[in-house]
């Protein structure tokens, strides 16, 4: 399998001129994914930032075939596109769905589950910016504890969101999917390697990409990559794979980087008190104890 | 430079001129993003070691690596500053745009 890096990565762009905010992490995830998948890619995008910024009539930022799907149906539409390509005898193609965290972990979960169950030959990308951003920052099932959003305000009684991130990667893996992985735009080579694996997977594959959102998180547009890396280094996100029925932890930091540095760089977490940060750290430690015990390490 | 180009676009003049089905062809850019920028990244090409980290991480893909030196497509650069922030030798300067 090709080992992708900046040097051998194609100079050609397949997602260009989009209207995402400057420094948008999701748009980098889509851009790099499209560069690996190539020009014979058919993309399905539900309602969400990535469709909203690329299909603004008469602008169209994808240079390949791409379609907007109803919010709940990324998995189903991608399945249908793959079936259509097969029926028409169009070969050497990739079918990919790019949905947000809301579009994946909440409203699109059923359609995704169906696609995995049928083992349809699609790649499903979850672009996780930890809230419903396109409609103005509402809490989703992937919003972490202590996040201030418009539907989980922080105040005297609540520290913002009071639920933890849904274990979306494990939910997908529990289907017995062919290939699943978590990634981060802060580790682009790892991300590209996982997209390459998904590309070479016959059947359904799922890649969950952690992607900061300067507008919704309240951070400078220049630190998107740095924050995405810090999330992994501080243990608030993890890089893992599910292959041949086994979980693999790709990166196991000996010591976690500062959670406080990561949180305090973002206005969505600025209100957090020491005791709230304790809750976040305890949850992190419990998750890592389980991953370190039960998952292979490679 | 090898980047998608701005297309000429004629607003449909009557209802029959509007497309049916797919709204427009792929690779169909009818407006630029340059006006979003407050700061313009300027690469010191003498200092640049061609590590290509800026090319890799630009969310807008506007840094072209096909030539001997990097070229930025200023029509679509939004001035986010990721390239400058991630350039280890520090050879990208963010220069205030004059209006
Ligand atoms: C059935 C339906 N409900 C609600 C909406 C409104 N809506 C459009 S985009 C969006 C948010 C998408 O959030 P997410 O999936 O996390 O993607 P992001 O915008 O954050 O990339 C919502 C709620 C819709 N288009 N369709
Ligand atoms: S709101 Fe966030 S996810 Fe949406 S385009 Fe802007 S930076 Fe990207
Ligand atoms: S990151 Fe800096 S040194 Fe590396 S290619 Fe870009 S400008 Fe040159
Ligand atoms: S400022 Fe942002 S958009 Fe412009 S070249 Fe640098 S990374 Fe790309
Ligand atoms: Mg989202």
* Domain assignment of residue A3, yes or no: no
pLDDT of B18: 80
- CB-based contact A97:B61 (threshold 8 Å): no
Beta-sheet pairing, B63-64 with B71-72: antiparallel
In angstroms, what is the C-alpha Rg of chain A? 18
Render chain B in DSSP notation, one character per residue: -----B------SSGGGSPSSSSS-SSBB-S--GGG-SEEEEE-TTT-----HHHHH-TT--EE-SSSS-EE-TTT-----HHHHH-TT--EEEEEPP-
Q: Phi-psi region for residue A130, left (φ > 0), alpha (ψ -120 to 50) or beta?
A: left
Q: Could you tell me if residue B15 is inside a domain?
A: no
Domain count across chain A: 1
A19 has a chain B CB within 8 A of its CB: yes
For residue B3, being part of any structural domain is answered with no
Dihedral angle of Cα A280, A282, A287, A293, to the nearest 10 degrees: 160
Q: What is the mean pLDDT of chain B?
A: 94
> What's the CA-to-centroid distance between A93 and ligand 2, angstroms?
29
The nearest CA of chain A is from the CA of B4 a distance in Å of 7
Does position B66 have pLDDT exceeding 80, yes or no? Answer: yes
Give the residue from A140, A243, A230, A226 showing the smallest Cα distance to A182: A243
Is B8 inside any structural domain? no
Question: Does B81 lie at the interface with A, CB-CB under 8 angstroms?
Answer: yes
Residue found under tokens 């029959």: B16
In a domain, residue B16? The reply is no
Q: What is the pLDDT of residue A221?
A: 98
CATH code, domain carrying B88: 3.30.70.20
Q: Is the pLDDT of residue A199 over 80?
A: yes
CATH of the domain at A216: 3.40.50.970
Q: What is the pLDDT of residue B49?
A: 98
Domain-located, residue A10: no
Tally of domains within chain B = 1
- The alpha carbon of residue B70 is apart from the nearest alpha carbon of chain A, in Å, by 11
Q: Is residue A63 part of a domain?
A: yes
Domain residue limits at B72: 37-99
- Interface touch B4/A13, C-beta < 8 Å: yes
> CA A99, A102, A107, A113 torsion: positive or negative?
positive
For residue A12, how many other CB atoms are within 10 A of its CB?
Answer: 16
Q: Does A18 touch chain B (CB under 8 A)?
A: yes
Mutate to test the interface with B, among A13, A43, A61 (most CBs of B within 10 A): A13
Query: Looking at the domain assignment, is residue A12 inside a domain?
Result: no
Task: Give tens-digit pLDDT for B11-50.
Answer: 889 988 887 766 678 999 999 999 999 999 999 999 999 9
ipTM associated with this complex = 0.97
Probe site for chain A from B59, B62, B70 (most A CB atoms < 10 A): B59
First to last CA, chain B: 26
Tokens describing residue A140? 């989703």
C-alpha distances in Å from residue A223, one per residue of A15, A22, A188, B77 = 22, 11, 15, 16
DSSP code string of A111-158: HHHHHHHHT-S-EEEEEE-SSBTTTT-B--TTPPTT---SSS-BSSS-
Q: Is B64 on the interface with A (CB under 8 A)?
A: yes
Kindly report, residue by residue over A98-140, the tens digit of the pLDDT: 999 999 999 999 999 999 999 999 999 999 999 999 999 999 9
Asked, for residue A29, whether it belongs to a domain, the answer is yes
Give the model confidence (pLDDT) of A129-149 as tens digits.
Answer: 999 999 999 999 999 999 999
What is the pLDDT averaged over residues A69-79?
98
User: What is the residue-averaged pLDDT of chain A?
Assistant: 98
Show the domain range for A32. Answer: 25-297
Q: What are the pLDDT digits (tens) for A1-17?
A: 889 999 999 999 999 99
Report which protein residue has its CA nearest ligand 2's atom 3: A213
Q: Which residue has the tokens 């959003």?
A: A149
- Residue B1 inside a domain? The answer is no
**And the tokens for B23?**
């709204």
CA dihedral A129, B22, A82, A127 (to 10 degrees): 0
At residue B22, the pLDDT reads 65
Asked, for residue A19, whether it belongs to a domain, the answer is no
Supply the pLDDT for residue A30: 99
Query: Which one is predicted more confidently, A11 or B8?
Result: A11
Q: What pTM did the predictor assign? A: 0.98
Q: Whose CA is nearest to atom 7 of ligand 3?
A: B48
Q: Is residue A1 part of a domain?
A: no
Ligand 3 neighbour B48 (Cβ under 6 A)? yes
Look at residues A219, A221, A225, A284 and name the one whose alpha carbon lies nearest to residue A258.
A284
Residue A150 is assigned to a structural domain of this protein: yes
């Amino acid at each position: 399998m090709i080992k992708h890096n900046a040097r051998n990565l194609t100079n050609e762009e397949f997602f260009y001129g989009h209207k995402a905010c400057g420094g948008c992490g999701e748009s980098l995830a889509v851009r790099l994914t499209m560069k690996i998948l190539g020009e014979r890619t058919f993309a399905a995008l539900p309602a969400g930032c990535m469709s909203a910024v690329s299909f603004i009539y008469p602008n169209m930022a994808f240079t390949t075939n791409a379609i907007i799907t109803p919010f709940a149906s990324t998995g189903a539409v991608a399945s249908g596109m793959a079936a259509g390509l097969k029926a028409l005898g169009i070969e050497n193609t990739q079918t990919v769905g790019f949905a947000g965290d809301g579009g994946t972990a909440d409203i699109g979960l059923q359609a995704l589950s169906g696609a995995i169950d049928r083992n349809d030959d699609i790649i499903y990308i979850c672009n996780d910016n930890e809230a419903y951003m396109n409609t103005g920052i509402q809490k989703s099932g992937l919003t972490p504890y202590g996040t201030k959003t418009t539907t989980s305000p922080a105040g005297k009684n609540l520290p913002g969101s009071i639920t933890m991130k849904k274990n979306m990667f494990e939910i997908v893996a529990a289907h017995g999917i062919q290939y699943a992985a978590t990634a981060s735009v802060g580790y682009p080579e790892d991300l590209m390697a996982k997209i390459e694996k998904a590309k070479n997977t016959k059947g359904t594959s799922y890649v969950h990409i952690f992607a900061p959102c300067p507008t919704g998180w309240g951070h400078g547009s220049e630190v998107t990559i740095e924050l995405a890396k810090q999330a992994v280094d501080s243990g608030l996100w993890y890089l893992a794979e599910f292959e041949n029925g086994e979980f693999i932890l790709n990166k196991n930091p000996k010591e976690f980087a500062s959670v406080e540095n990561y949180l305090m760089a973002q206005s969505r977490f600025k209100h957090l008190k020491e005791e709230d940060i304790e809750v976040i750290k305890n949850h992190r430690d419990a998750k890592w104890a389980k991953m370190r015990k039960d998952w292979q390490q490679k | 430079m090898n980047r998608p180009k701005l297309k000429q676009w004629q607003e449909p003049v009557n209802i029959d001129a509007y497309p049916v089905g797919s709204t427009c062809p792929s690779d169909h850019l009818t407006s630029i993003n340059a006006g979003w920028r407050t700061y313009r990244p300027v690469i010191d090409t003498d200092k640049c070691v061609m590590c290509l980290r800026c090319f890799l991480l630009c969310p807008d893909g506007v840094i072209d690596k096909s030539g001997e030196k990097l070229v930025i497509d200023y029509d679509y650069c939004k001035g986010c500053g990721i390239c400058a922030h991630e350039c280890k030798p520090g050879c990208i300067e963010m220069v205030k745009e004059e209006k």
